[in-house]
Structure 1
Amino acid sequence: MTDEAAKAPPASAEEVEALHRLVLQSLDDDKAEEVTSIPLAGKSSIADHMVIASGRSSRQVAAMANKLAERLKRELGRHVRIEGLPVADWVLVDADDIIIHLFRPEVRSFYNLERMWAFGDEPKSPGNA
């Protein structure tokens, strides 16, 4: 991460919600499965939302991550950081205000991030967000 990126001003609530909608739309367009959004605002300083989704294969997980990064850059001018692409069992896309975890189903089940991060709340599906 560059010093310039670390000093970026915080995004407004409207910008965060636009980013959140774009992330969910991109995942829907790419046929992500079991998309869950966990609100983190007021619970953690790492991000405002955590989005967790599954792909049917490592190839689909990698494609979803790459397309999401390209779309965020093209439509919002956001550069994201991506970890885990070589294997693509679990890919993390860090868009600053939103953290996106993309998994193959069996890897997602093993780590069960929804349970770890829900803070006693029920994770929200995009239709309920």
Structure 2
Amino acid sequence: MEAILVLTNAGEMKNVVTKINGGDLEKEKKFFRIQVSKSKKPLFFYLNLAKKHLKMDHDVELCALGTAIPTVIIITEILKRDGWGIEKSIMASTIDAREDKEGRRIPPKAKLDILLGKAKSGDQSTEASTSTEE
């Protein structure tokens, strides 16, 4: 199976198209990207937004740069603990350095992307975390 991601700007819906070997479309799944900021909105704004989209059976991708990374981790852990979602993938990377207006080099920033899917039952999120521990 092959997954194709169509990425757009923050807060817009994207499609995940899964293909089978013959090229026939098996399923089209929508997911919502939320770019979390530590200073612009409170944590519960992003938490409620993620719950809203998980309730509509969309996958949610939480993205953060630098100091907003702990906020994304807290949101993810709350959603898993309360049975709203399960982790599908985690991707950590860095954003390349660039120069500011005065020509000084800005150091690279850490970036974290967590893709969450809707938990089918309240026990599914805890089952996923306990199965990796055994």
Q: TM-score, normalised by structure 1?
A: 0.34
Q: TM-score, normalised by structure 2?
A: 0.33
Q: Higher helix share goes to which structure?
A: 1
Higher relative contact order (CA 8 A, sep 6+): 1
Higher gyration radius (CA): 2
